[in-house]
């Protein structure tokens, strides 16, 4: 059978886990019609030396605003990705009332390090509800297949206003959020996403609204998913909702649950979590931990050190001007307090300074690429305090 297009001579990796094989791929009517040897077609694309594979699905993105000014969704489109899923962590930009636009934009600016001015200029704000939001994207078009979760933080802000940052929801407000979720799912939302993660701080350094949700509120949203009967629940775990809870939550929701991320730990704790998930899976709980296909690397500057926000001593500075943050960094007592918190959290949220390197420095370019731990050892100082190695309350610090 002749095809409209034949991708010829590549190594076909079909996504099933089977080894790659050299074969041709025939396409007609926008669909794969045949995989085999010596296929014929109206057009032939030489894929010799290349891998031919299904498009990748980027399951954890934050393109919720970027989709409006970058429909190609870079850089995902550069890496063989043909489908993206936005709305992760519950950080969507809809539903949003007119008076809440700045609040939701500042939330994204803090929690995902998005530039507030770019958000203000790039989001068209011709929508209010989640269905309106999806329709706005559809009118403009998008270069990849697009899916988005309905986000918990946006729902709370829509239902509760600024009080979403400060308290639990009332029964009436929970009912309002349930209705928002139903409307979003009916319009095409991929599911429901939320976050309980300690590093997720929004406006004025406060925990993002979803972290204020109590168990009753969260389970009420899962009950909507159970009635709907399809879609996915995506969770970023935290003290109120740990990985060990996911199997029970999945049984209540009745739809797949995914959570992220399951990252490797120097203590080996991730192996215990993976084993627990395997046990739960064998008992019928469809829970999918998200893992990274390569080591996870954060690049950040000290005026917005997102990976450190789990430390409350650092998080308290999130809403202050950069100048005030710099004064805190220069204060020996602040450094001792920050380091002391990390020392008490060594097995969970501790900092492994040997993994930190200097990425760039205008004043000390000779340090680029050097390990922070190595530099501290050379100077007989701790990595954070720039003091003597003693963690005393009154360390002797240099003036830098």
Place 133 in a pLDDT band, splitting at 50, 70 and 90.
Answer: very high
Order across the sheet with 56-58: list the strands.
56-58, 81-86, 145-148
Looking at the structure, do residues 337 and 233 belong to the same domain, yes or no? no
140 closest CA partner among 84, 203, 69 = 69
Decide if 386 is inside a domain.
no
Q: Give the up-direction half-sphere exposure of residue 76: CA atoms within 13 A in the CB hemisphere.
A: 26
pLDDT at 127 over 50: yes
Q: Give the up-direction half-sphere exposure of residue 207: CA atoms within 13 A in the CB hemisphere.
A: 21
* Between 394 and 55, the higher pLDDT residue: 55
- The two tokens of residue 98 are 């007119």
Strands 287-290 and 257-260, bridge-based pairing: parallel
Looking at the structure, do residues 141 and 280 belong to the same domain, yes or no? yes
- The two tokens of residue 384 are 């954070």
Looking at the structure, do residues 180 and 273 belong to the same domain, yes or no? yes
Decide if 122 is inside a domain.
yes
Looking at the structure, do residues 157 and 44 belong to the same domain, yes or no? no
Looking at the structure, do residues 363 and 232 belong to the same domain, yes or no? no
pLDDT at 121 over 50: yes
Predicted confidence (pLDDT) per residue in 138-154, tens digit: 999 999 999 999 999 99
What is the mean predicted confidence (pLDDT) over 84-94? 97
Decide if 24 is inside a domain.
yes
Gap between the Cα atoms of 13 and 64, Å rounded: 31
Cα-based distances in Å from 162 to 102, 157, 254, 396: 11, 6, 32, 44
Looking at the structure, do residues 225 and 329 belong to the same domain, yes or no? no
pTM (2 decimals)? Answer: 0.84
Residue 211's CB is within 10 A of a number of other CB atoms, namely: 25
Q: Specify the pLDDT at position 349.
A: 67
Q: Specify the pLDDT at position 390.
A: 39
- Using the 3D structure, point to which of 239, 266, 290 is the last residue of a domain: 290
Looking at the structure, do residues 209 and 284 belong to the same domain, yes or no? yes
Weakest-pLDDT range from 39-53, 99-113, 226-240: 99-113
- The two tokens of residue 301 are 């500057």
Instruction: Note whether 253 and 225 are within 8 A (CB).
Output: yes
- DSSP assignment of 157-206 equals HHHHGGGGGTSPPPHHHHHHHHHHHHHHHHHT--EEEEE--TT-B-GGGP
Strands 145-148 and 81-86, bridge-based pairing: parallel
Place 391 in a pLDDT band, splitting at 50, 70 and 90.
Answer: very low
Instruction: Note whether 56 and 16 are within 8 A (CB).
Output: no
Q: Specify the pLDDT at position 348.
A: 64
249 closest CA partner among 207, 183, 196 = 196
108 closest CA partner among 74, 78, 153, 149 = 153
- The two tokens of residue 161 are 């206003």
Decide if 116 is inside a domain.
yes
Number of domains in the chain: 3
Predicted confidence (pLDDT) per residue in 276-321, tens digit: 999 999 999 999 999 987 878 888 888 888 788 888 899 888 878 8
Looking at the structure, do residues 155 and 8 belong to the same domain, yes or no? no
Decide if 139 is inside a domain.
yes
Q: Which long-range contacts (CB under 8 A, 24 or more apart) does 357-361 make?
A: 359/299
Q: Specify the pLDDT at position 100.
A: 95
- The two tokens of residue 94 are 């809809």
Weakest-pLDDT range from 119-128, 224-233, 385-394: 385-394
Decide if 273 is inside a domain.
yes
Cα-based distances in Å from 65 to 50, 78, 93, 193, 305: 34, 19, 7, 16, 22
Decide if 395 is inside a domain.
no
pLDDT at 199 over 90: no
Looking at the structure, do residues 63 and 97 belong to the same domain, yes or no? yes
Q: Specify the pLDDT at position 346.
A: 67
Average pLDDT of the residues of the chain: 91
Looking at the structure, do residues 364 and 256 belong to the same domain, yes or no? no
Place 226 in a pLDDT band, splitting at 50, 70 and 90.
Answer: very high
Gap between the Cα atoms of 170 and 181, Å rounded: 17
Looking at the structure, do residues 60 and 44 belong to the same domain, yes or no? no
Q: Specify the pLDDT at position 126.
A: 97
Helix extents (H) in the chain:
101-111, 116-122, 130-140, 152-160, 171-187, 215-228, 246-253, 269-282, 312-315, 322-330, 332-344, 372-378
Looking at the structure, do residues 28 and 70 belong to the same domain, yes or no? no
* Residue numbers of the domain that contains 356: 306-378
Decide if 394 is inside a domain.
no
């Amino acid at each position: 059978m002749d095809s409209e297009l034949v991708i010829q001579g590549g190594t076909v990796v079909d996504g099933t886990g089977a080894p790659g094989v050299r074969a041709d791929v025939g396409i007609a009517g926008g669909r794969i019609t045949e995989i085999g040897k010596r296929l014929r077609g109206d057009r032939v694309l030489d894929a010799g030396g290349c891998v031919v594979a299904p498009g990748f699905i980027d399951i954890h993105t934050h393109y919720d605003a970027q989709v409006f000014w970058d429909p190609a969704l870079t850089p995902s489109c550069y890496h063989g990705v043909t489908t993206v899923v936005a709305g992760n962590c519950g950080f969507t930009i809809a539903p949003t009332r007119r008076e809440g636009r700045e609040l939701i934009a500042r939330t994204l600016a803090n929690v995902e390090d998005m530039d507030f001015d770019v958000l203000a200029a790039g989001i068209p704000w011709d929508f209010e509800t989640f269905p309106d939001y999806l329709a706005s994207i559809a009118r403009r078009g998008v270069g990849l297949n697009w899916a988005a979760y309905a986000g918990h933080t946006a729902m709370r802000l829509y239902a509760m206003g600024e009080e979403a940052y400060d308290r639990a929801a009332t029964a009436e407000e929970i009912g309002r959020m349930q209705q928002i979720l139903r409307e979003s799912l009916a319009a095409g939302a991929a599911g429901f996403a939320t976050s309980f993660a300690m590093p997720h701080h929004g406006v004025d350094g406060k925990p993002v609204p979803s972290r204020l949700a109590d168990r009753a509120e969260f389970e009420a949203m899962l009950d909507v998913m159970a009635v709907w009967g399809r879609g996915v629940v995506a969770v970023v775990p935290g003290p109120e909702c740990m990985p060990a809870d996911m199997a029970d939550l999945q049984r209540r929701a009745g739809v797949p649950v995914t959570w992220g991320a399951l990252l490797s730990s120097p203590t080996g704790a991730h192996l215990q979590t993976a084993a627990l998930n395997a046990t739960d899976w064998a008992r019928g709980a469809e829970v999918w931990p998200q893992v990274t296909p390569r080591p996870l690397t954060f690049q950040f500057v000290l005026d917005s050190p997102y990976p450190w926000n789990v430390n409350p001593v650092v998080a308290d500075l999130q809403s202050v001007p950069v100048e005030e943050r710099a004064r805190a960094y220069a204060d020996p007592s602040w450094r001792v307090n920050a380091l002391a918190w990390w020392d008490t959290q060594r097995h969970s949220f501790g900092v492994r300074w040997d993994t930190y390197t200097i990425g760039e420095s205008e004043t000390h370019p000779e340090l680029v690429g050097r390990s922070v731990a190595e530099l501290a050892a050379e100077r007989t100082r701790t990595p954070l305090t720039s003091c003597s190695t003693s963690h005393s309350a009154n360390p002797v610090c240099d003036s830098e």
